[in-house]
Structure 1
Amino acid sequence: MLTYELDAKNSRSLYEQLYQAIRSDIELARLDAGSKLPSKRTLAQHLGISVITVESAYRQLAAEGYIEAKERRGYFVNELPSVQAHDMSAGSEQIEHQLNAEAAVRQIDPVRLSISSVPSIQATPLLADFSGNDRSGNQFPFHIWAKTVRRTLSEASKGLLLRTAHDNRGSEELRAAIAQHLAHFRGLEASPEQIVIGAGAQDLYGVLVQLLGRERTFAVENPGYPALRTHYELSGAHVVGIPVDESGLDVATLRASKASIAHCSPAHQFPTGSVMSAVRRHELLDWAREASKQDTFRNAERPDVKDRPLKRYIIEDDYDSEFRMRGRPIPPL
C-alpha cells in the first residue's frame, strides 16, 4: 500500500502533495511499470484523506501520462524510458552562437511576413466559434487599461524610457517579475538575466535562429502553428515537419531526421490541444541529451578548424499552459 506523509498545513494542497509523491515514485522506478495503483477509496481511507483528493491526484497523473485509467480495472503505472539525472540549473550554459537580437530581426522582411496579402475567406455563421487567437473587444477592460496607462505615464514619465534604454533584453522590473512568476507558477529557476522580452513570440523566432545558427535544421510539429515554419524559413533556417500523435511529437521520426533543434508545445499542442505524455517527454529529453556523431558543425570560414559536435536543443513553446479546465497546469519539460 502506498504510504505518504501529507501535511494539511503545507502551502500546497493535499492533492498536489499526493500527486508529487506518486509522480516521484514513478520517475524513480519505485513503482513498477504496469503495476496497479490502489483504488481511490482504499487509498483515501489508508491516508486519511478524501476520495476527491485522491481522484484529483490520479486525474492529474493521468493527464500527464504517468498512469493510465482502464475501465472497470483501475489505474495502472505507465512505463517510462530510463532517464539520466540532470542539473536543472544548467540553463545559463554558454550557447555556441552569440545572441544578436537586432541583427536577427533585421533578417526578417516585414513585407513578406505581412498577412495582408492573404485572401480572406467568407465564413459561414456557426453556432460556436472555436477559432484561436480571438480578440473579442468586449472581453478587454479598456477603461481600466487606459486609466492605468495615464497614471503610470504621469507618475513615471521619462524614467520608463531611461530604465530600458541600455538593455536590449527589456525592462529589468518586468524581467524580475517574470522570473518570480516562473518560479512560483511553473517551477522554473530562471534569473532576470536569462529572460529576453520581445514584441511577441513571432518577433523572437528570428532571434532564435540567430542564436542557434542558420546551419541548423529546425523540427516543428506537423500539424502545428503555420506561421512558425514561415518565420523560421524566412530567417534562413532549414525546417522539417515532424508528425504529432495523441502522445505528442513523434520522437522516433525526429531521431530519423537531421534536426538538431525541436520546437514543440508539450502543455497544449496547437491545433490538436493534446498534452505530451510523460513517456514521450522522457523520450524527447533523451533525444536532446544524445550527441549524435552526425550532428556536427563545420565552420565554412575556418576550414582548418575540425568539425565539432552540435548540441541538441528543445524550444519549449509554453503556449496557453496557464489555462486548464480541470487540475493543475502541466509541468514544463
Structure 2
Amino acid sequence: MIELTPHLDNEKKEPLYVQLYHYIREEIQTGNIAPGVKLPSKRKLAAHLGISQNTIETAYQQLNAEGYVKSELRKGVYVKKLAGDLYPYSSRISFHNKKVTKNHDEQYKFDFSHGKVDLEHFPYSTWRKLTVQSLYEENSEIFFNGDPKGDTNLREEIAQYVFQSRGVTCSPEQIMIGAGTQYLLRLLTMLIGKESIYAMEDPGFHRTRAVFKHENVKTISIPLDEEGISLKHLEESRANAVYITPSHQFPFGTIMPINRRLELLKWAEAKGRYIIEDDYDGEFRYIGKPIPSLQGLDFKDSVIYLGTFSKSLIPSIRLSYAVLPTALVNQYDQHLTIYKQTVSRLHQHTLFLFMKNGHWKSHLNKMRNVYRKKQHMLVASIKKYIGNKATIIGEKSGLHILLQVHNQMSELELIKNALKKKVKIYPTSIYYEQYKADKPMVLLGFGGLSETEIDEGIKLLKDAWFNEKDENTVQSMNDADQ
C-alpha cells in the first residue's frame, strides 16, 4: 500500500475532497501510481492527512465514477489500468515498479493528436538548402552566443510578419525569442512578478497551468461563456494578469468577438494588469473574417503577445516568441539578460532566410489550404458516419475539434472503445481545473493525418461507439436531413 502526501489548502475555495481527487487523478494519469496499486484505507489516509474520512470517501467515489479506481468489497480500493497513452502529459514512468513504458505508436492505426502537423508538405529541400547556406564561413558568428532576446535579423522578420498577418504593432526590440511557449511563460512570471495573481481560462491549456504551478504563482480559474473568458468572474477575481487564447480558445475553439476583446482591454487599464495573449494557431481560420489580435487593439501597452512556429512549421524547431510591452522590455533589459538564448542560432538563421526569401509566406498559404481541406473532410466524415449522434465543437479555426458523442458513454469509455479499433483520441477532462464539463467530450486533432486517414478513422470511431441499431438511427437521421 502506498502513502499519499498531497498539499491540501484549507484557504482555497476548492473543497478538500476536490483537491484530493485532482491530486490522485494526476498521479494515476502520469503513471506515478501504477495500475493495481492499492490506495490507503479511508481511516489511515484520514489520520495521515488530518482530515475527515468523509472527505476521503467522496474523493474515492469520484475517482471510481470516472473509472480510475475500483472498489473491492472487504479488500480495498485499487487503481485500474488505463488503456494506452490516453493523457498527453503522461510521464509514462511508474516509480513503483521502476519500469519505463514505451509509447508504441504502431499499436494505433490512426492518431488524432492535436500536437501533430502535416509533414508531407514540409519544404524539406528548401529548408536543407538554407541550413547549409547558414553554415557558410561568412556566417561563422552564429557559432557564438548571440543576443539573449534572439537574433536581430529574425526578430525584424517576425515583427513584419505579425504586423501584416495579425495586426500586431511592435519593434524588434520588443520581441523575445525562446524555446517554446512554456519557457517564455516562465520568463514572463519573472517579469510580471511571482507575487502577482494569474487568471486562466477553465477549461484551459494544461501545460500553461503546469508552468504557473511549477513557478509557485497563485492562479485563479475563470469559467467560459459563449464569447470566451467570463469578464464578470475576471472582474470579481483579484487577478492582475490573465492568460487567454482568444483567436482559438483551447480546447473549445471559441473565437473571441471584438466586443469581448475591447472589454478585456478595458479591464487591463488598471495599473499593473497584463493580458497574456497566446495566438498559438491563429493562422488557421476556416469560417468568417479574421479578427485583429488583442495586441493590435491595445493602446495602453498592457498586452503580451505569444506566437509560435510549432503549428505552422514544425514542432521540433522549438521556436516561439513573445512581444513585450515597453515597461516589460525595460524590466527584461535590467534583470533577465543573464539568461542566454535557448534556441539554436542555426535554426534562427535558417528561419530568417526562409522568411526573408519569401518561402515562409508561400508555405503558410499552402498549409492553410491543406488544413482547410482536412478540416472539411473531418466535418463531412463525422456527418456522414455519425450524423446527429454527435455534436462538433470549435470547427471554425485551428487544428482540432471537440466531439460530444450522444451514446451515454463516459469520456474514458469513448477512448477505450476507440483504442479497440486502433484509433487514438484524447480526453478533455485534463483541461479542467475547478469547473467540470456538463457532458463527456473527446478531442480530435487532424493536422497529422491525410484526408483518407481522417475518413477511415472516423468510420472506425462510428464502429467503436455505435451498434447496428444505432447505425440505422444515424442513417435515418441523415436521410431526414437531406
Question: For this structure pair, what is the TM-score category when the shorter chain's length is used for normalisation?
Answer: 0.5 to 0.7
> Who is 1:213 aligned against?
193
Aligned to 2:81: none
Tell me if the contact between 1:321 and 1:329 (Cα under 8 Å) persists in the aligned partners. Answer: no
State which of 213, 236, 241 in structure 2 corresponds to 1:256.
236
CA offsets per residue over residues 9-52 of structure 1, 9 Å max, x none? xxxxxxxxxxxxxxxxxxxxxxxxxxxxxxxxxxxxxxxxxxxx
Matches within 5 A, 1:238-277: 238-277=218-257
User: Structure 1: how far apart are the matches of 2:202 and 2:285?
Assistant: 23
**Structure 1 residues 244-253 or 135-144, which shifts more?**
135-144
Taking a change above 3 Å as real, the CA distance of residues 117 and 225 of structure 1, as seen in their structure-2 partners, is: farther
Residue 315, structure 1, aligned to residue 273, structure 2: no
**Mapped partners of 2:220, 2:129: distance in 1:** 46
2:181 to 180, 201, 214: 201
8 Å Cα contact 2:258/2:291 also seen in 1: no
1:14-163 superposed matches below 5 A:
115=91, 117=93, 130-154=112-136, 156-162=138-144
Indicate yes or no: 2:205 matched with 1:225.
yes
1:324 and 2:324 equivalent?
no
Residue of structure 1 equivalent to 2:312: none
Residues 1:168 and 1:115: Cα distance change in structure 2 (over 3 Å): farther
Structure 2: 5+ residue runs without aligned partners? 1-88, 95-100, 295-482
Q: CA deviation at 1:326?
A: 3.7
**How far 1:216 sits from its partner (Å)?**
0.7
Query: 1:285 aligned to 2:287?
Result: no
> Structure 2 residue aligned with 1:236, among 216, 224, 243?
216
Question: Is the 2:92–2:102 Cα contact (8 Å) retained in structure 1?
Answer: no
Q: Which runs of 4+ in 1 moved over 6 A?
A: 118-124
Shift of 1:115: 4.1
Give the match for residue 169 of structure 2. Answer: 189
Contact 1:288 1:314 in 2 (8 A): yes
Q: Secondary structure at the match of 1:221?
A: strand
Secondary structure at the aligned position of 1:240 is classed as strand
Greater share of helix: 2
SS in 1 for 2:120: helix
Conservation of the 8 A alpha-carbon contact between 1:248 and 1:269: yes
Q: Secondary structure at the residue paired with 1:289?
A: coil
Measure the CA separation in 2 of the matches of 1:117 and 1:208.
30
Question: Could you tell me how far 1:253 is from its partner in structure 2?
Answer: 0.7
Give, as a single letter, the amino acid of the residue that structure 2 aligns with 1:286: K
CA distance in 2, matches of 1:328, 1:209: 33
SS of the residue 1:158 aligns to: helix
1:36-83 CA deviation, whole Å, 9 max, x = no partner? Answer: xxxxxxxxxxxxxxxxxxxxxxxxxxxxxxxxxxxxxxxxxxxxxxxx
* 1:168 alignment counterpart: 148
- Contact 1:321/1:330, CA 8 A, preserved across alignment: no
- Percent identical residues: 39
RMSD: 2.7
CA spacing shift, 1:327–1:247, aligned 2, 3 Å: closer
Counterpart contact for 1:248–1:276, Cα < 8 Å: yes
Give aligned pairs, total.
Answer: 199
Deviations 1:210-239 (A, max 9, x none): 001000111111111101000111112111
Q: Specify the alignment match of 1:89 in structure 2.
A: none
Counterpart-to-counterpart distance in 2, 1:132 and 1:283: 30
TM-score w.r.t. structure 1 length? Answer: 0.54
CA distance in 2, matches of 1:270, 1:114: 19
CA distance in 2, matches of 1:115, 1:143: 35
Partners in 1 of 2:262 and 2:175 — Cα distance?
25
Query: 2 CA distance for matches of 1:150 and 1:121?
Result: 33
TM-score, with length taken from structure 2: 0.38
Once residues 293 and 261 of structure 2 are traced to their aligned partners in structure 1, the CA distance between those partners, rounded to angstroms, is: 10
Say which SS state the counterpart of residue 198 (structure 2) adopts: strand
Contact 2:241 2:274 survives alignment (8 Å): yes
What's the offset of the Cα at 1:160?
A: 2.1
Q: Distance in 2 between matches of 1:203 and 1:278?
A: 29
Specify every segment of 5 or more residues in structure 1 that has no aligned partner in the other structure, as ranges.
1-112, 292-310
- The structure showing larger relative contact order (alpha-carbon pairs under 8 Å, at least 6 residues apart) is 2
What is the SS of the residue equivalent to 1:134? coil
Q: Which amino acid aligns with 2:134?
A: T
* Structure 1: distance between partners of 2:102 and 2:245: 28
Q: Secondary structure at the match of 1:314?
A: strand
The counterpart of 1:177, out of the listed 157, 173, 189, is 157
Query: CA offsets, 1:283-316, max 9 Å, x none?
Result: 211211135xxxxxxxxxxxxxxxxxxx111011
Q: Deviations over 1:138-182 (max 9, x none)?
A: 3433343223211221254412235xx352000000011111112
